[in-house]
Structure 1
Amino acid sequence: MRIGYSLNLEQTQKLVMTPELRQAIAVLQLSALELSDYVEQQMLENPLLDVVEDSGDKGTDNSQEDTPPLEKEDNPADSDWDMNWEDYFQHQEERIFREYDPDAGQNKRFEPFLAAAPSLQEHLLEQIHIQRASAPQDLLEYIIGNLDENGYLPLSLEEIAKQFQRPLEQVKTGLTIIQGLDPLGVGARNLEECLRLQLPLLNHYPPEMPSFLNHLEDLAAGRLQKIANQLKVTPLQVQAMSDLLRTLDPKPGRRFSGPGEVRYIIPDVVIEEVEGEFIILINDVTVPRLGINQTYKKALSQNSESETRKFVEQKLNAAAWLIRSIEQRRLTLYKVADALVRRQEEFLRQGIRYLRPLNLKDIAEEIGVHESTVSRATANKYVQTPRGIFEFKFFFATGLGSEEGMTTEAIKQALKDIIATEDPKVPYSDQKLTEILKEKNMKISRRTVAKYRDELGIPSTTLRKRY
């Protein structure tokens, strides 16, 4: 066997993930709010990016139309640039800056601000600071600080007394003060105590109600006859007390805000029906319209300082790619939304029953892109339709393979409608629901019916029965 060196030519294909391509992929999967934050961050890092004030902005369009494909090279600063940036600045419209006169009444502005709802702890602390409590202030603050998000106290009184080094009776007094604050039910150790603290909210309740609270487990299991026998009342009276109990709040702390719990949904796409036709709008008003800062055209004309020109050209390249990526995101979102409207038009006009089975591959083939592109374009994004606001993935409904292409959402809606019209004294069993759905050409098993019923939060036949 001969060992030696040789020189061979070989032609291969490979995908190179350039920084520009990675940026385009990242921009595509951002929601409107996330894209707005991303653009703000890029503006801090790139001094050539500037906001175009005019919403009709020809400057933005020119920045996108006049930007040719930029070559992908390892060192863009040393490459030959196809774009004449000086001509670009000459054709770009001059920026118009509106000066703000604080003394002029017609130009008077108000700074926007955000007022957050108080948390449960803040609401309770405000009350104990106003009233003069018989327990030490620091003890009350310690108990309030240990309440969970539902308003319950997970610690025992003995643990608080040991950790805080206070007498047990003093801790009991402090907890009683907390339980008397608004809203009633906070500071409870369990569900029974929480509901018992809220009994004063009921104007008139049967004398058996305090004893009825001792049978919550039997109530949850639907054993109304057993409760009636132990309380020596009729099942109808037990049912009435159960209905009265449902008017109370089992989690009083949930009505207050918590850190990071508020989530604003801004739809990325808006679909409106105008004169029988659906119009698609890309909702990117929160994203600043980007252009190139005019003040840097002087730096391009100075050939003496090559380092300065090289820096400006690098930033121009990055700015142009960002503008291009944002425009590509807008175009891809529009294509995906347009394909969804054509596929789900019956749903948009007539409701959930007409939602058709759909997957990412169908949309990808229709608009001529890869399936992963559709996945990124629809990830964590919402669309506003005449039927409400839905997440994009809602439209990619799973079919059950029936002849009419029925989706799971349509079957759940039909199941909900059937249960809503049943006789509460003789509710339908899961087997009966299966037979009724079969008559509607929805052939699913009894086990699937039980699964969908649980997902809809509908209790079993025993718990739905009314006396």
Structure 2
Amino acid sequence: MLLQPKLNVKISQRQVLTPGLMQMVSVLALNKLELREMINTEIVENPVLEEIESNDPSFEELAGREGDRERTAEETAVKEEKDPFEEIDFGSYFQEYLDPGFRTGNLGGEELDKPSFENFLSKPSTLTDHLLWQLGSVHLPDEVRSAAELMIGNLDENGYLVATDEELATALREQGIEHPEAALEEAHKVIGTLDPAGVGARDLKECLLMQLAAREREAEAAAERRASYRAQKEHEDDFSVEIDRRVEDVEKLAAEHRSCVMRIADAIVQQHLALLQKKDMRELVKECAQSPETVQEAVDVIRSLDPRPGQRYNNAETRLIEPDVAFVKRGDEYVVVMNEEDMPALRLNAGYRRMMHQKDADRDLKEYVKERYRSAIQLLRNIEQRKNTIVRTCEAIVRRQHDFLEKGIDGLRPMMIKEVAEEIGVHPSTVSRAVSNKYVHTPQGVYELRFFFSEGVNGPEGGDLPLVLLKRKVKKLIEDEDPRQPYTDDYLAAELQRQGIQITRRTVAKYREEMQIPSTHKRRVR
């Protein structure tokens, strides 16, 4: 078979993003803090861009000053020359002969090595840092210390050990430790004595047991300190001796009761943790064979424990929120005001513009300046386009959410991104980027712009009800229920339907799970 080349014409359409369009898309998605950081970076990288200070003259003032300077130069040319003696800077000339005691320069001309201010900045301590700091004050054999450091390095954000014993033992063997199992066992005991109690556990049961053991050690240490204090105390009369004896008897009874409660709490965690999770107090009392009051005390002790002890040292840093826009009421209407406080005001450097018109300037230099000017102008246009898009989007939000601004969240109306995009004449993705990660200051508080966009369900009187309000109604019904007879999803759906909201049981269960509310069986307290 003979193969011959052929020419075929194929017509297709595809969207190509130019660098300017890509920058416009990225600038639109930035919030105020990110945009300010981006502008500062551009000012450093692009010499054509410069920030306008509050006391800087305007372009018209600069043009006027340039004209005055030229006229002054022409007038000075016809005047007689100045005396050269008057142009001498006597202050700098005699500076070396002034009293050196008033000079602030470094002796010997050497620069002193000053500490950086970064050394004084604090950073949040992590769980790993906190545990390693405590481990450094404990005297341990080298192999046990290596095992403890390895275990601490394999804790998750909750303080649980995620690596298996086999993986840890293999890692220790690679370090040359002959008996890794024994080292790991001893290291686990050491970690169990560190703060916070419960770290290093493999599961919830072990975590709670470790915390109960730590409380027992604290109670025993306190009892020993009290006994030591009484033994060292010198009594002056029989009355004081009798008082101390009675106090000792009361403390002994309290210690016996506490020990009984702790044993019950330990047994519940060891054998009946599932019943505790179900809140089945009747069955717990039966299994523990103790009085309901004593079992309740044990349950209260368990509930006071921390199931995620590592979280207190792994908290996320506080996120700084600065609203990009504000809805301000003027008269009877709300207006959109962009928050441009602390935003750098940009302008183009006039000196580089004159450089491009110089005939003796280098050609490559001219091309570089032209490219920098194009980049700067494109950035200024994209920043202005971002502002216009955000303002138009927020104006559409204000028109649709007037009741929310007046009454609060109960006045919120369902609103879709597609509807706002059609109203202002842009693509829905543009509106999505305009409201992404941006916040607005309203009379009702600070909200994310995406908060105002939610689907609606068929509510009472034929109107649409936002999903936010629907979830609030579901949560409110559950909060008001009797813990011994919690509402089922069927009852919640029926109750909402009686209020005129068309909703099914499956939808109620879906929203309940999204709000991380347990099922009816798990909410019931027996």
TM-score between the two structures when normalised by the length of structure 1: 0.77
1:315 corresponding residue in structure 2:
372
Provide the C-alpha distance between the structure 2 equivalents of 1:423 and 1:92, rounded to a whole number of angstroms: 80
Q: Does 1:283 align with 2:342?
A: no
Of residues 363, 373, 394, the one that matches 2:451 is 394
Cα shift at 1:254: 1.6
Do the aligned partners of residues 15 and 193 (structure 1) sit closer, same or farther apart at CA in structure 2, a change above 3 Å counting?
closer
Provide the C-alpha distance between the structure 2 equivalents of 1:131 and 1:284, rounded to a whole number of angstroms: 54
Provide the C-alpha distance between the structure 1 equivalents of 2:192 and 2:329, rounded to a whole number of angstroms: 52
Do the aligned partners of residues 436 and 142 (structure 1) sit closer, same or farther apart at CA in structure 2, a change above 3 Å counting?
same
Cα shift at 1:445: 1.1
Is 43-52 or 287-296 further displaced after alignment? 287-296
Q: Which amino acid aligns with 1:448?
A: T
Q: Secondary structure at the match of 1:406?
A: strand
Which structure 1 residue ranges, 5 or more long, are not aligned? 1-12, 63-86, 94-102, 104-109
Provide the C-alpha distance between the structure 2 equivalents of 1:57 and 1:340, rounded to a whole number of angstroms: 37
Provide the C-alpha distance between the structure 1 equivalents of 2:210 and 2:441, rounded to a whole number of angstroms: 42
Q: Secondary structure at the match of 2:456?
A: coil
Q: Does 1:188 align with 2:201?
A: yes
2:181 corresponding residue in structure 1:
168
2:100 corresponding residue in structure 1:
none
Provide the C-alpha distance between the structure 2 equivalents of 1:310 and 1:42, rounded to a whole number of angstroms: 19
Do the aligned partners of residues 377 and 159 (structure 1) sit closer, same or farther apart at CA in structure 2, a change above 3 Å counting?
closer
1:269 corresponding residue in structure 2:
325
Cα shift at 1:186: 0.8
Is 318-327 or 366-375 further displaced after alignment? 366-375
Q: Does 1:145 align with 2:153?
A: yes
Do the aligned partners of residues 410 and 92 (structure 1) sit closer, same or farther apart at CA in structure 2, a change above 3 Å counting?
farther
Q: Secondary structure at the match of 2:26?
A: helix
Q: Which amino acid aligns with 1:140?
A: A
Structure with the higher fraction of residues in helix conformation: 2
Q: Which amino acid aligns with 2:266?
A: P
Q: Does 1:46 align with 2:46?
A: yes
The answer on whether the counterparts of 2:156 and 2:162 sit within 8 Å (CA) in structure 1 is: yes
Q: Does 1:448 align with 2:507?
A: yes
Matches within 5 A, 1:52-451: 52-54=52-54, 90=63, 114-133=121-140, 136-157=144-165, 159-164=167-172, 165=177, 166-199=179-212, 200-201=214-215, 205-214=261-270, 215-233=272-290, 241-257=298-314, 263-271=319-327, 278=334, 280-285=336-341, 287-305=343-361, 306-402=363-459, 403-451=462-510
Q: Secondary structure at the match of 2:326?
A: strand
Do the aligned partners of residues 127 and 14 (structure 1) sit closer, same or farther apart at CA in structure 2, a change above 3 Å counting?
closer
Cα shift at 1:123: 0.9
Q: Which amino acid aligns with 2:209?
A: R
Cα shift at 1:316: 1.4
Q: Secondary structure at the match of 2:465?
A: coil
The answer on whether the counterparts of 1:268 and 1:283 sit within 8 Å (CA) in structure 2 is: yes
User: How many residues end up aligned between the 2 structures?
Assistant: 413
Do the aligned partners of residues 236 and 279 (structure 1) sit closer, same or farther apart at CA in structure 2, a change above 3 Å counting?
farther
1:65 corresponding residue in structure 2:
none
Provide the C-alpha distance between the structure 2 equivalents of 1:344 and 1:91, rounded to a whole number of angstroms: 49
**Looking at CA atoms only, which structure, 1 or 2, has the larger radius of gyration?**
2
Cα shift at 1:371: 2.6
The answer on whether the counterparts of 2:265 and 2:299 sit within 8 Å (CA) in structure 1 is: no
Deviations 1:282-318 (A, max 9, x none): 3344643222234424413412224433332221122
Q: Which amino acid aligns with 2:496?
A: L
Provide the C-alpha distance between the structure 2 equivalents of 1:114 and 1:316, rounded to a whole number of angstroms: 39
Do the aligned partners of residues 157 and 369 (structure 1) sit closer, same or farther apart at CA in structure 2, a change above 3 Å counting?
closer
Which structure 2 residue ranges, 5 or more long, are not aligned? 1-12, 67-103, 105-115, 220-257
Provide the C-alpha distance between the structure 2 equivalents of 1:14 and 1:154, rounded to a whole number of angstroms: 48
Provide the C-alpha distance between the structure 2 equivalents of 1:272 and 1:240, rounded to a whole number of angstroms: 54
Do the aligned partners of residues 232 and 35 (structure 1) sit closer, same or farther apart at CA in structure 2, a change above 3 Å counting?
same
Cα shift at 1:121: 0.6
The answer on whether the counterparts of 1:50 and 1:293 sit within 8 Å (CA) in structure 2 is: yes
CA RMSD after TM alignment: 3.5
Q: Which amino acid aligns with 1:292?
A: L
Q: Secondary structure at the match of 1:130?
A: coil
Q: Secondary structure at the match of 1:416?
A: helix
